[in-house]
Amino acid sequence: MRRLLVFLLVITTMQTSAQDLALCKRIVKQLSSAKYQGRGYARDGANKAGRFLQKEFLKAGVDEVTCQPFKLDINTFCGKMEMRADGKKLIPGIDFSMREYSPGVHGEFPVYHVDTLNFDADKMFADLAKPEFANCLVACEFWFTYRHSKDFSRLQKAGECPNAGLIYTWESPIKFFKAYGHRVVDKPIIWVTPNAIEGVKKVRVDVDNKFLKDYECFNVIAKVKGQRHDSCYVFTAHYDHLGNLGKKVFYAGANDNASGTATIVTLAAHYAKNRPKFDMYFIAFSGEDANLRGSEYYAQHPIVPLEQIKYLINIDMIGDNNPIQYCEASDEGMRGYTLFEQINNEKHYFQALHRGDLAANSDHYSFATRHIPCIFLENEKGDAFQYYHTIFDTYRTVRFDSYEPVFRLVTDFAERY
Q: pLDDT digit string (tens) for 46-60?
A: 999 999 999 999 999
| 285 contacts 363 by C-beta, under 8 angstroms | yes
- Domain boundary (160, 182, 207) is at 207
Confidence (pLDDT) at 56: 98
| Number of neighbours of residue 67 by Cβ within 10 angstroms | 16
| 314 contacts 375 by C-beta, under 8 angstroms | yes
Q: Do both 192 and 128 map to the same domain?
A: yes
pLDDT digits (tens, 9 = 90+) for 193-250: 999 999 999 999 999 999 999 999 999 999 999 999 999 999 999 999 999 999 999 9
Instruction: Supply the CATH number for residue 94's domain.
Output: 3.50.30.30
Domain count, the chain: 2
- Tell me the H-state helices in 38-175: 45-60, 121-128, 142-147, 149-154
Confidence label for 18 from pLDDT (cuts 50, 70 and 90): confident
Q: What percent of the chain has pLDDT over 70?
A: 96
10 Å CB burial of residue 10 (0-12, 13-18, 19+) is exposed
Average pLDDT over residues 362-388: 97
Q: Do both 169 and 252 map to the same domain?
A: no
Confidence label for 160 from pLDDT (cuts 50, 70 and 90): confident
Measured in degrees and rounded to the nearest 5, phi and psi for residue 23 equal -65, -45
User: What is the DSSP code (8-state) at residue 42?
Assistant: S
Q: Which residues pair with 202 in a beta bridge?
A: 110
Q: Do both 57 and 105 map to the same domain?
A: no
Q: Do both 67 and 96 map to the same domain?
A: no
Q: Do both 141 and 157 map to the same domain?
A: yes
Question: Quick check: 4 pLDDT over 60?
Answer: no
Could you tell me if residue 8 is inside a domain? no
Confidence (pLDDT) at 16: 57
Q: Do both 233 and 297 map to the same domain?
A: yes
Q: Apex CA 399: angle with CA 295 and CA 236, to 5°?
A: 15
CA distance 183 to 75: 7
Average pLDDT over residues 123-151: 95
Nearest residue to 258 (alpha-carbon basis) of 62, 45, 24, 20: 24
10 Å CB burial of residue 208 (0-12, 13-18, 19+) is middle
Confidence (pLDDT) at 49: 98
Confidence (pLDDT) at 2: 61
Q: Do both 218 and 336 map to the same domain?
A: yes
Q: Do both 356 and 219 map to the same domain?
A: yes
Question: Quick check: 275 pLDDT over 60?
Answer: yes
- What residues make up the domain containing 88? 81-207
Q: Do both 319 and 223 map to the same domain?
A: yes
